[in-house]
Every structure is written in C-alpha cells, then in structure tokens.
Amino acid sequence: MQIQTIETNSTNILKLRSSQPASLKEMIQNDLSQRLQNLETGLQQTQTRLQQFETQYQWSTEKFVELFTNDQLQHCLDFDEWLGEAWILEKIQQKIAIIKEIEFVD
C-alpha cells in the first residue's frame, strides 16, 4: 500500500493505493466508525465525571481551570483529576472533530 498526501486550498487529500481498494475503503470506514463510537462513549464518561466535580465544588470546569492555572487553588487529588478530565475532554473533542470531517472521495 502506498500513501500520498495532496494539499489543496484548505483541505488535504490523502490517497491510498491498494490492490483491493473497495475492501480497504470499507475497512477504514468501519474502523473510523468504531473509533468514533469509542470516542463518543469516552466523551460521555468524561462529561459525567466533570459534571460530578462541578456539582461537588459548585464551579464550572472553565472557572476551575482558570483558578487552578492562576495558582489560586492548592493542589489536591480531586483537582489534579479534574484538570486531567478537562484535558481529556479537549483531546477527545479534537479527535471526534477530525474523524467527523473526513470525507471519502473517489
């Protein structure tokens, strides 16, 4: 299999060459679909955990991150975990966006 990336105006096109292109396309689509489903499950779990922290401490995650990064809060296990969950949320959202913008072209 050969991979080639082509840059266009605002989009990159990734070309794959295979002796079985239809099978490869189906395999990649299925893998991306499964990956998206796993990411969305993780997103829900992360959002639930963030909501638990927000309820417990009566701050939004955005407010907490602001206070924490400005050294207005003491480090504790909950705060470290909350910050980690906020970071995970951002990464999961980025990955979901990447997968959702993929378009298969012939």
pLDDT at 10: 65
Taking CA atoms, 31 is separated from 9, 10, 27, 28, 37, in Å, by 28, 25, 6, 5, 10
Q: Domain limits of the chain?
A: 32-106
pLDDT in tens, 40-83: 999 999 999 999 999 999 999 999 999 999 999 988 999 999 99
Q: Please, which pLDDT band fits residue 11 given cuts at 50, 70 and 90?
A: confident
Fold annotation for 32-106: Methane Monooxygenase Hydroxylase; Chain G, domain 1 (1.20.58)
d(CA 23, CA 78): 47
